[in-house]
Amino acid sequence: MKNDPTSRPVDAGGAAPAKHFIRQIIEEDLRANTHGGRVVTRFPPEPNGYLHIGHAKAVCLNFGMAREYGGECHLRMDDTNPTKEEVEYIESIREDVRWLGFDWGKHFYYASDYFDKMYECAAQLIRKGKAYVCGLTAEEWSKDYRGAPPAPGRASPSRNRPPEESLALFEEMRAGKHPDGSLCVRAKIDMASPNLHLRDPVLYRILHATHPNTGDRWCIYPTYDFAHPLEDAFEGITHSLCTLEFEVHRPLYDWVIENLDGLPSRPRQYEFARLNLNYTVMSKRRLLELVQEGRVRGWDDPRMPTICGLRRRGYTPESIRAFTEVIGLTKYESLSDVARLEHGLRDDLNKRAARRLAVLNPLRVIIENADALPASVNAVNNPEDESAGTRPVPFSSELFIERDDFMENPPPKYFRLSPGGSVRLRYAGFLTCTRVEKDAIVCKWSPPEAGLKVKGTIHWVSAKHAVPAEIRLYDRLFTVEDPLAQAAAEGKDYHEFLNPDSLVTVAGFVEAGLADVRPAERFQFERLGYFCADPDSTPGKLVFNRTVTLKDPWAKAAGKR
RNA sequence: UGCCCGAUGGUGUAAUGGUAGCACAACUGACUCUGGAUCAGUUUGUCUAGGUUCGAAUCCUAGUCGGGCAGCCA
**Residue A351 pLDDT greater than 70, yes or no:** yes
Output the average pLDDT for chain A: 95
For the CA of A155 and the C1' of B13, the distance in angstroms is 47
What is the pLDDT confidence band of residue A559, given thresholds at 50, 70 and 90?
A: confident
**Residue A18 pLDDT greater than 90, yes or no:** no
**Residue A457 pLDDT greater than 80, yes or no:** yes
For the CA of A248 and the C1' of B2, the distance in angstroms is 13
Q: Which nucleotide is nearest to A251 (CA to C1')?
A: B4
For the CA of A336 and the C1' of B46, the distance in angstroms is 20
Which of the two residues, A317 and A150, has the higher pLDDT score?
Answer: A317
Please give the full DSSP string across A178-220, using - where no structure is assigned.
S-TTS-EEEE---TT-SSGGGSS-EEEEE----BTTTBTS-SE
**Residue A26 pLDDT greater than 70, yes or no:** yes
Instruction: Answer whether A59's CB lies under 8 Å from A368's CB.
Output: no
Is A172 assigned a catalytic role? no
What is the pLDDT confidence band of residue A561, given thresholds at 50, 70 and 90?
A: low
**Which of A326, A294, A236, A312 has its CA nearest to residue A537?**
A312
Q: What is the pLDDT of residues A471-482, one digit of tens each?
A: 999 999 999 999
Q: Distance from first CA to last CA of chain A, Å, rounded?
A: 53
**Residue A295 pLDDT greater than 70, yes or no:** yes
Q: Which nucleotide is nearest to A404 (CA to C1')?
A: B35
Question: How many C-beta atoms surround the C-beta of residue A57 within 10 A?
Answer: 23
Assigned fold of A358-459: Ribosomal Protein L25; Chain P (2.40.240)
Residue A459 one-letter amino acid: H
- In this complex, the residue with its CA at the shortest distance from the C1' of nucleotide B12 is A327
What is the pLDDT confidence band of residue A372, given thresholds at 50, 70 and 90?
A: confident
Is A46 assigned a catalytic role? yes
Q: Which nucleotide is nearest to A141 (CA to C1')?
A: B72
CATH 3.30.360.10 assigned to domain A21-113+227-277+313-326? The reply is: no
pLDDT on residue A101: 98
Which of the two residues, A13 and A96, has the higher pLDDT score?
Answer: A96
Please tell me which residue in A8, A27, A46, A481 is annotated as part of the active site: A46
Q: What is the pLDDT of residues A141-153, one digit of tens each?
A: 999 999 998 899 9
Please tell me which residue in A94, A284, A352, A364 is annotated as part of the active site: A284
**Residue A19 pLDDT greater than 50, yes or no:** yes
Residue A136 Cα distances to A139, A141, A142, A487, angstroms: 8, 6, 10, 39
Residue A450 Cα distances to A429, A447, A454, angstroms: 8, 6, 11
**Residue A496 pLDDT greater than 90, yes or no:** yes
**Residue A15 pLDDT greater than 70, yes or no:** no
Q: Where are the alpha helices (DSSP H) in A444-514?
A: 483-490
For the CA of A514 and the C1' of B29, the distance in angstroms is 39
List bases, strand B, within 7 Å of protein CB: 1-8, 10-16, 22-27, 33-38, 66-74
Same fold, A278-312+332-356+466-561 and A358-459: yes
Q: Which nucleotide is nearest to A250 (CA to C1')?
A: B4
Mean pLDDT to the nearest integer, A324-331: 96
**Residue A195 pLDDT greater than 90, yes or no:** yes
For the CA of A76 and the C1' of B21, the distance in angstroms is 39
Arch. (CATH architecture) of A278-312+332-356+466-561:
Beta Barrel (2.40)
Domain A115-224 has what CATH class? alpha beta
What is the pLDDT confidence band of residue A16, given thresholds at 50, 70 and 90?
A: low
Q: Where are the domains of chain A?
A: 21-113+227-277+313-326, 115-224, 278-312+332-356+466-561, 358-459
Is the ipTM, as predicted for this complex, more than 0.90? yes
**Which of A447, A426, A452 has its CA nearest to residue A372?**
A447
Please tell me which residue in A117, A174, A274, A352 is annotated as part of the active site: A274
Using DSSP's 3-state secondary structure scheme, residue A506 falls into strand
Instruction: Answer whether A469's CB lies under 8 Å from A508's CB.
Output: yes
pLDDT cut 70: percent of chain A above it: 97
A351 backbone dihedrals φ, ψ, rounded to 5°:
-80, -25
Q: What is the pLDDT of residues A207-239, one digit of tens each?
A: 999 999 999 999 999 999 999 999 999 999 999
pLDDT on residue A557: 87
Q: What is the pLDDT of residues A388-431, one digit of tens each?
A: 999 999 999 999 999 999 999 999 999 999 999 999 999 999 99
pLDDT on residue A486: 92
pLDDT cut 90: percent of chain A above it: 93
Is A453 assigned a catalytic role? no
**Residue A37 pLDDT greater than 90, yes or no:** yes
